[in-house]
Chain A
Amino acid sequence: MSFPGVKALEDVDFTLKKGEIRALMGENGAGKSTLIKCLTGVNKFQAGEIYLDGIEGPIVNKDTMDAQHKGISTVYQEVNLCPNLSVAENLFIGREPMTKIGTVNRKEMNRRAAELMSNLELDVDVTKNLEEYSLALQQMIAIARAVDMDSKVLILDEPTSSLDDHEVEKLFNMMRNLKSQGVGIIFVTHFLEQVYAVCDGITVLRNGMLVGEYEIEDLPRVKLVAAMMGKDFDDLSAIKKEGDDQVSDELFIEAKGCSHAGTIKPFDLDIHKGEVIGLTGLLGSGRSELARVIYGADKNQTGTLKVDGKEAHINQPLDAMKLGMGLLPDDRKAEGIIGDLSVRENIILALQAKAGPLNKIPYKKQCEIADQFIELLQIKTASRETLIKQLSGGNQQKVILARWLATNPDFLVLDEPTRGIDIGTKTEIQKLVVKLAEEGKSIIFISSEIEEMLRTCNRMAVLRDGQKVGEISGNEMTQEGIMKAIAGGGSDE
């Protein structure tokens, strides 16, 4: 299968063999998503042709449905299922098993769904609504749906960005299994380790152009990064923390026995000024939830919270913001961006909320602030009036980050700030975190990548099953130490 010359990109050739897992790599805006959209009929392309095994002549996909019929299935970065339908309904949407009289055969549908789930070792009640499951499980279900549709080509667009290591391994097994059945898989990801763990070949794009198609053996990590960035890679280890010099003795946050029923059990947590504290744990361990309680996104129901030495009563995020806090949520689409508003409006949003509805920030000032952060964070956007939903994921994240930086916060919660973001931006954000801490700001940093947390955090709190189970600092802060603590059984208290 090949298709030369997609013009929205620029003369990109892409080849995928049967039974091959090919990584599609590139920085934000390199054209990965556009390429995929062309393949699946979401975008029309002006020039070039697509050939698919078993079908004569170039194929034209009118829409995703059409592509699916031809055997090209996609699972997108953000889950595109219906949260208010059951898992089974989501799995069989558009191809429901029918009874003889033409109604949906729910029994059959649920049976087949349950079978599919158990084949993939997913512990899911298929009659429950999709929204009751975590983002990670929703992602797995989306993949299961694609897998079940007899795909010749399976496109996975950042499928692992919301999965933890265990789930990633499960997914990889699934992918290897499919590969042995002759399915070709296009795997888009920002995680370098994962590319080398599962892929056979790599195609690299940059600025809408093809850099090259490589076999995995021919392209070691350093070369891959260089190919993606188009320059010699500024080593990540360069931002290794220098020590804890900037951490002050003063506490900014003092939480004692805070909790929110159903999400996080009572916890104590102190955060110093100028400190980056990492929250680590598996997905659903309560690491996001803990931060949400401090920020007031979920109301604190027990215990006391002192902010900057004074007892604080936070009923809603606005209260927290007035105390100098900010929260960058992990679910960018649902809780971060205001899609139909411009980049400018998205950037000044929190600042405006703090100012109140009657103190409108003058338009000129808004533009200044927006321009300043577009420049500072190098946000790639056509103009400040571009709608944020038209930006790529990484740039959207930068806009949200700008929204909080504009409020000049003393304390920031960054929940998976680098998820789904290319390696260059990732480094920038990590550098920024370290720089903010040096300026005396306190930061909660949550990430699934332990490596990244080791680079940025002064101290880490470990969570398991909705409970804070310990803290790690100093010499214990190593990959193994953290893994042990997460897994439990260690004596890290």
Chain B
Amino acid sequence: MNKIKNITKMQLFLPIFSMILVMCINVIYDIANGNAALNFFYITIKNGVLFGRLIDVLNRGSEVAILAIGMTLVVSSSAGTDISVGSVMSLYGGMCCMVLAGYGVTNVSEYKQPLIVGILAGLLLACVCGLFNGFLIAYMNIQPMVATLILWSAGRAIGLLLCNSNIVYVRVESFQKIGGYVGFLPTPILVAAICVAVASIVLRFTALGTYIQSVGINKKASRISGFNSAVIILLTYVICGLFAGLAGMVATSRIYSADTNNIGLNMEMDAILAVALGGNSLGGGKFNLAGSIIGAYTIQAITTTLYALGVSSAQAPVFKAIVVIMIVVIQSAPFKDFLKKFTAKKSTKEVAA
């Protein structure tokens, strides 16, 4: 009994529990359909690359996972969300492809500039977007939702300007590599893994985590104790911008074009949801990066599961919503209290018996 209690007390218990819940739905479905029970986890190599539903979840979930890193930090430091990340992703695409193809050109099969220049230009622009958001929030005291609303609506339009209102195609093999495969492994999985690893290492070996949480919990007290709250908030938004750029890099490469109207569309909402599913309070303060990452893949797992179940993409959001409601309720404080009372009653009964 005590062991169970200790496990349920762990911070990551609920996010992981949610993930397992989604996987169980898969297993049940497979059994019901007469497939192998663990079909979901079954990984094969087809055409020289990894193939399977789990791989699909990891692959398709990369962008949201990358976004969730930055989102977790801004939620923690400023108790606000950055809703411009989807637009910043598309801005990366616009910038990168424009640099690689040249302004006004819509279809190239050869780089005008080396690939790395395009990527760096795109990432730089993404950081500038983060800087802009961060400046408004940290120094102008504008509410995060409002401040990031600006780029949320303007970002895609700026992207269109960069691309002269066209979809710019970069039909070069190396460009597609980031959205494709290295060896047998889908590159997006690798990119996401590197991003998560770098973020974890930085948070583990620097005091940045303490800085961000401290500012997020009590800005005034943090200032008195020697933290420059404004700089820290600004920094988190720049980091968020950078990760939005990296997510944009993956998304752009997948479709080897700067489709500024569609890259990262509505992805900011998934990223915010990932943070919430990870057991993080959107009220700022304490954060748990691992939770957010698990949350991100949970969202993708839900989507993939629904497609596997044969739900059409038009109706998928309805079912997704139902699953999300369940997960959110399970993690809510009143439900936890209820569960506590329930287990407490049970244990007293056991004692009585």
Contact = CB atoms under 8 A, between A and B. Distances in A.
Contacts of B213: 338, 340-341
A350 B226 contact: yes
B218 to A, nearest CB: 5
Interface string B194-212: 0000000000011110110
B220 A339 contact: no
A340 B227 CA distance: 17
Contacts of A335: 218, 220-221, 224
Contact of A357 (B208, B220, B221, B225): B208
A360 B206 contact: yes
Given A297-B223, A317-B225, A321-B226, A360 B211 contact: no
Given A337-B218, A340-B217, A341-B214, A352 B223 contact: no
19 contacts: A318-B226, A318-B228, A321-B226, A329-B221, A334-B220, A338-B221, A338-B225, A339-B218, A341-B210, A341-B213, A349-B222, A352-B211, A353-B227, A354-B226, A355-B207, A357-B207, A358-B207, A359-B207, A360-B205
A340 B285 contact: yes
Nearest to A407: B226
Given A352-B207, A360-B206, A316 B217 contact: no
A317 B217 CA distance: 18
Contacts of A341: 210, 213-214, 217, 286
A341 B210 CA distance: 9
Given A357-B208, A357-B211, A358-B206, A329 B217 contact: no
A360 B201 CA distance: 12
A318 B227 contact: yes
A337 B225 CA distance: 10
Contacts of B208: 357
A167 B223 CA distance: 31
Contacts of B205: 360
Given A316-B223, A316-B228, A335-B224, A349 B218 contact: no
B216 to A, nearest CB: 9
A349 B220 contact: no
Contacts of B207: 352, 355-361
A349 B223 contact: no
Contacts of B225: 317, 338, 349-350, 353, 403
A345 B210 contact: yes
Given A335-B221, A349-B214, 13 more contacts: A297-B224, A318-B227, A337-B218, A339-B217, A340-B217, A341-B210, A341-B213, A341-B286, A345-B210, A350-B225, A355-B207, A357-B206, A361-B207
Nearest to B212: A357
Interface of A: 297, 316-318, 321, 327, 329, 334-341, 345, 349-350, 352-361, 403
Interface string B210-250: 11011001101111111110000000000000000000000
Nearest to B204: A360
Contact residue range for chain B?
A: 20 to 34
Nearest to A319: B226
Nearest to A350: B225
B226 A338 contact: no
A336 B226 contact: no
Nearest to B232: A357
Contacts of A361: 207
Contact of B226 (A317, A358, A359): A317
A93 to B, nearest CB: 21
Nearest to B235: A357
A341 B284 CA distance: 12
A360 B286 CA distance: 18
A358 B208 CA distance: 7
Contacts of B217: 338-341
A355 B224 CA distance: 15
B228 A338 contact: no
Contacts of B285: 340
By CB atoms of chain A within 10 A, which of B217, B221, B286 has the most? Answer: B221
Contacts of B218: 334-335, 337-339
6 closest A-B pairs by beta carbon, nearest first, are A353-B226, A360-B207, A318-B226, A321-B226, A340-B217, A350-B225
Contacts of B214: 338, 341, 345, 349
A336 B224 CA distance: 8
B210 A352 contact: yes
A329 B210 contact: no
A298 to B, nearest CB: 11
Contacts of A317: 223-226
Nearest to B207: A360
A460 to B, nearest CB: 24
